[in-house]
């Protein structure tokens, strides 16, 4: 005979597993990022691609473009040349999700990418909506252009560093702006360039 308390427990657990099914809010796994030598490893790359239901190659190509670097898929991981903060990878994944996964009509991720002639279209299985995949807005500076110390520029802040500084990605560069917040466009003077890291003074 089954202990009534145990029976109650079992029922409670089976209810929990039932309700945490399809109704759960769509969430992209947090990128697990670490630096390995001169590269940055995105440990759960495959998991992110499969959650987004997109081809690994497609996601990878986008991330490389966003980061302005080279890299490769290595099993379940993605490896990028250069050192990138978790926040930078995170914002690249978010941009991809917004551009290539989320339906702008209903906000659901149940979408497919369809080539319509030369136009890439995002079609939603949930609401039937569709839209052309939007082109990323132009970068402040073209990828590959050099950033010189002393130059003055307007930059779009995309994310926040662990220390709380605003972060802007410009081509291969990661720029830090003290006190700036994501979404802001700020005027800065470049005070120091160390490899791909750019330090600034806000004007």
Contact residues toward Zn ion (CB under 5 A) are 103, 105-106, 124, 126-127, 129
Record the tokens describing residue 28, joined without a space. 């992209």
Report H helices in the chain: 4-19, 45-52, 56-67, 86-100
> 131 or 187, CB closer to Zn ion?
131
Residue 126 CB, shortest distance to Zn ion, in Å, is 5
> 97 or 158, CB closer to Zn ion?
97
CA distance linking residue 161 with residue 86, whole number of Å: 8
CA distance linking residue 52 with residue 39, whole number of Å: 24
CA distance linking residue 22 with residue 126, whole number of Å: 13
> 42 or 103, CB closer to Zn ion?
103
Q: 97 near 52, Cβ under 8 Å?
A: yes
Rg (CA), the chain: 21
| Start-to-end CA span in the chain (Å) | 76
> 14 or 104, CB closer to Zn ion?
104
CA distance linking residue 143 with residue 122, whole number of Å: 26
> 114 or 126, CB closer to Zn ion?
126
Residue 127 CB, shortest distance to Zn ion, in Å, is 3
Residue 125 CB, shortest distance to Zn ion, in Å, is 8
> 33 or 122, CB closer to Zn ion?
122
Question: What's the Cα-to-Cα distance from 139 to each of 126, 142, 200, rounded to whole Å?
Answer: 33, 6, 18
Residue 112 CB, shortest distance to Zn ion, in Å, is 11
């Amino acid at each position: 005979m089954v202990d009534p308390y145990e029976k109650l427990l079992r029922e409670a657990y089976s209810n929990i597993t039932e309700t945490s099914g399809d109704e759960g809010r769509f969430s992209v796994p947090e990128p697990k990022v670490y630096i390995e030598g001169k590269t940055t490893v995105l440990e759960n790359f495959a998991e992110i691609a499969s959650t987004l239901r997109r081809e690994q190659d497609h996601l990878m190509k986008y991330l490389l473009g966003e980061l302005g670097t080279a890299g490769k898929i290595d099993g379940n991981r993605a490896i990028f040349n250069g050192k990138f903060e978790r926040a930078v990878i995170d914002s690249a994944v978010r941009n991809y999700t917004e551009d290539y996964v989320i339906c702008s009509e209903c906000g659901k991720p149940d979408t497919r990418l369809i080539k319509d002639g030369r136009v890439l279209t995002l079609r939603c299985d949930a609401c039937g909506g569709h839209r052309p995949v939007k082109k990323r807005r132009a970068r402040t500076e073209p990828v590959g252009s050099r950033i010189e110390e002393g130059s003055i520029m307007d930059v779009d802040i995309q994310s926040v560093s662990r220390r709380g500084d605003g972060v802007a990605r410009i081509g291969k560069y990661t720029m830090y702006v003290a006190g700036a917040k994501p979404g802001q466009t700020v005027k800065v003077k470049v005070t120091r360039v160390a490899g791909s890291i750019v330090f600034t003074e806000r004007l």
